[in-house]
Structure 1
Amino acid sequence: MKTGELITGRPKSDAGARVVTLTEIIVDDLVWHLQRFAKSGLPEIPIRDLRHTGNTLAAVTGAIRKELMTRMGRFSTKAAMVYLHAAKDRDRAIADAMGEIVKQGLASAEDDDEDQAATEAKIN
């Protein structure tokens, strides 16, 4: 791939032979772009070059590492991590999600305290 030439044949590993499900919202646009590219006379850009963006978006959905590795066709964690990039806005989303977990835990603790107080009042 370093030369930019199209290589056909079996993937480097068995994990590379897979079907990747795409979201419906991009399929029509992807087909349109591929058709226009073919007619333009410009050098082809392999779809596989979109893997960094696609895999980062998949990670943002909350997919677990094994799911991401399967989508990527990667057998090792090290190889998979090459294609995952931190999204700048994810830090805020992660912090907000952590805050929601804490809020839920606090609300649950308050409910437990109220239940305990009601039980103690009934006993006395």
Structure 2
Amino acid sequence: MPAPASPRSGQLGPLLVSCRLARGWSQQRAAAELCAAAGVPTLSRHEVSRWERQRRVPGGFWLGWLAVVLDVPLVVLAEAAAVTRRAVPTRATRATGPGRAPRAGAAAAGRTGPRRTAGTTRGGGARAMGTG
């Protein structure tokens, strides 16, 4: 079955939606079909939703099973995934996109872990200071 045309310049999310709906499947059914084909019981309809909304892009493993289950050539899905990855900003670029300054905080200051100062405990409360 040829892949239906994507309404948004070849991006993966709309392509997945149109292929799923062409089969008359819900997201739940699509997830169940993927789980059965791949032998992996952990894929939920929520993940299918994330792929369709382009909150996430499936990796090679799931792209292969999507091609099998939806009967779409893998190369079509892989190209759409590549277009989506280029078009959808990552979390980091959304935080510092055009016209936005980087967020202040540990990452901006170059710190990578929690900062501990003298006189504080792990929970941030003051230590009891006893006299001798």
Q: Using structure 1 for the length normalisation, give the TM-score.
A: 0.31
More helix per residue: 1
Q: Using structure 2 for the length normalisation, give the TM-score.
A: 0.29
Larger radius of gyration: 1
